[in-house]
Amino acid sequence: MSRFGCIEAGGTKFVCAVATGPDEIAATCRIPTTTPEETLGRAIAFFTELAAAGGDLAAIGIASFGPVVLDRGSPEWGRIARTPKPGWSGADIAGAFGRAFGVRVAFDTDVAAAALAEARWGAAQGAVAAIYLTVGTGIGGGTVVDGRISRGRRHAEMGHMIPARHPDDRDFAGTCPFHGGCLEGLASGPAIQARWGAPLSALAADHPGHAIVGWYLGGHAAGLMAAIAPDSIVLGGGVMETPGLIDRVRDAACAADQGYRATPEEWRRIIVAPGLGSRSGILGALALAQDLVADPAGR
Ligand code: ZN
């Protein structure tokens, strides 16, 4: 059975694992994301030790924080693109592992990989088109159609779409350094903290923040439905762990849609919590590696 190296490369930590399948994860380790040299070095050391003990890896899958360069025709492929995160602009993540182990590396965004895992093993099984959207420190999403990640040469930036303003939220400038009041600038964890001084889950149940954040995310879901027509929209990330928020998002999506694309009952089935919980990222990396071995010509 093939063994795959799996890496969930996050902005605060790297999770590394060796797996033969979604239920056979042999070893994992967590490495704080500090400098590229230190973090990549420690991840390579982890896989080197395991490879020495148990044989070669068939491929390595990396589900990375973004922005990343995904154009296979670019000399920059596999690198972190320009980012405010100190030291990481241009960091060659895929190349570091490819050179260290002499295997092919599959590389995509953490959210696209999570969409792949949720469609294969999680809450979006059976969907022809599925979107995974994370709402946490940032907001981002990935799309899977017919079991494959769907995108152009670049990855999507769903969190940077500009929503209509909630009537009770017109005075807040937004926290996105690029756009101010894009979705991420209005509904991410830092935007909630900047507005109301606490995480959403810490605000009283009758605090208007719940309705405002639900309204933005529901409107976004209705927009995604209009653009992509997904069967499933999986909402992950820390903000979505707020009790009751997913129902507010469903109600707001339904209200924005006005019954045009889906009934209230259908919206409840379309907008779902992750089936894989916090494992969607690392299992996404596994799915990327599996697909690369199954279809070496794929990206
Ligand atoms: Zn933005």
- Average pLDDT (72-91) is 94
CA–centroid distance, residue 186 to ligand 1 (Å): 9
Q: Is 217 exposed, middle or buried (0-12, 13-18, 19+ CB in 10 A)?
A: buried
CA–centroid distance, residue 59 to ligand 1 (Å): 34
pLDDT digits (tens, 9 = 90+) for 34-49: 999 999 999 999 999 9
Distance CA 244, CA 109 (A): 28
Measured N-to-C along each axis, helices 93-101 and 36-54 cross at an angle, to the nearest 10 degrees, of 30
pLDDT digits (tens, 9 = 90+) for 121-173: 999 999 999 999 999 999 999 999 999 999 999 999 999 999 999 999 999 99
CB 101 within 8 A of CB 51: yes
CA–centroid distance, residue 265 to ligand 1 (Å): 32
CA–centroid distance, residue 80 to ligand 1 (Å): 18
CA–centroid distance, residue 99 to ligand 1 (Å): 34
Q: pLDDT averaged over the chain?
A: 96
Q: For residue 50, name the pLDDT band (cuts at 50, 70, 90).
A: confident
Measured N-to-C along each axis, helices 110-121 and 280-294 cross at an angle, to the nearest 10 degrees, of 80
CA–centroid distance, residue 139 to ligand 1 (Å): 9
pLDDT digits (tens, 9 = 90+) for 252-283: 999 999 999 999 999 999 999 999 998 999 99
Distance of CA 113 to the CA centre of its chain: 7
CA–centroid distance, residue 83 to ligand 1 (Å): 13
pLDDT digits (tens, 9 = 90+) for 96-118: 999 999 999 999 999 999 999 99
CA–centroid distance, residue 157 to ligand 1 (Å): 9
CA–centroid distance, residue 97 to ligand 1 (Å): 31
CA–centroid distance, residue 299 to ligand 1 (Å): 27
CB 27 within 8 A of CB 50: yes
CA–centroid distance, residue 138 to ligand 1 (Å): 9
CA–centroid distance, residue 135 to ligand 1 (Å): 13
CA–centroid distance, residue 218 to ligand 1 (Å): 18
CA–centroid distance, residue 101 to ligand 1 (Å): 37
CA–centroid distance, residue 62 to ligand 1 (Å): 24
Distance CA 71, CA 83 (A): 17
Nearest to 240 by CA among 267, 207, 278, 206: 278
CA–centroid distance, residue 81 to ligand 1 (Å): 16
Distance CA 247, CA 245 (A): 5
CA–centroid distance, residue 144 to ligand 1 (Å): 23
Q: For a pLDDT cut of 70, what percent of the chain falls above it? A: 100
The CA-atom distances, in angstroms, between 104 and each of 17, 147, 190, 209 are: 16, 21, 37, 46
